Structure 1
């Protein structure tokens, strides 16, 4: 007997208690107060054509984790390295997808975790300032290492991003909500 494929709703129910790889993404703001948004290529497996913030996921092998073995003596150094990798990996992703030099980016500020609607995969969101203006960023984008993942880079003000949010995956809409919350909180304090 062949089982039928699961619907997205069934997938949500079955996967809600399983581990998920932690993604990351950054809301990057240019020196002229524009936010960087990529339109995903139609040739990518996840969310083709959608608007997204640059991101991906941390790489365990970057810090020497190559298996699931537990080594008590290494726990403290691994914990420190995992924390560092969370911040280093988002800078790498921005550099690879946008093409800007790492030296043009601020230290990432963690703003929260959002997760996808259907497969509930979590993503850590960061805010990063770029000391380049939107025209300079566009010039770097043409030679981005992972430029094939997207078809266009948009540099938009916050109000325009509100209109694009309906064409973002759920976790990116959540990341945008976290960013707005951060911005609104800064205005109050």
Structure 2
């Protein structure tokens, strides 16, 4: 059935599914990047980050506290984004594996190969009897025909060369008779 569908669609069913999965993966990537940019554009205080009193007391000034808070925020964002991306990718992979199997078995399948010729006709098969398989040549018969064709082509080349020689001899004889 894959061959028939590939011939009909002009691409394999698996290519269609791969394109769908790649599109979803691209959308997941964009979504994760948008989330990361959103967090990066928000201050640490707005996200609820605070330095513990002991750490804040050891820092010399407000600028150092802001930098420590910003570093804490960035580390948390980086770790969270990695975990989120891993979780989303694992979920997409698992669910789209199921989608791929279901689609190939139930949506992009036509039936058994034997029955297809009776029911599905592509335009370029109109008028062709694809059901009658009694006259299908064996691989050996095809190979024999290829050998015969090759030998016939060699013989044809030799005969044309002989014809050219004979034409040259006839021309020489004509010139001798005429001379």
TM-score by length of 1: 0.25
Structure with higher helix content: 2
TM-score by length of 2: 0.26
Structure with higher strand content: 1
Larger radius of gyration: 2
Of structures 1 and 2, the one with the larger relative CO (CA 8 A, separation 6+) is: 1
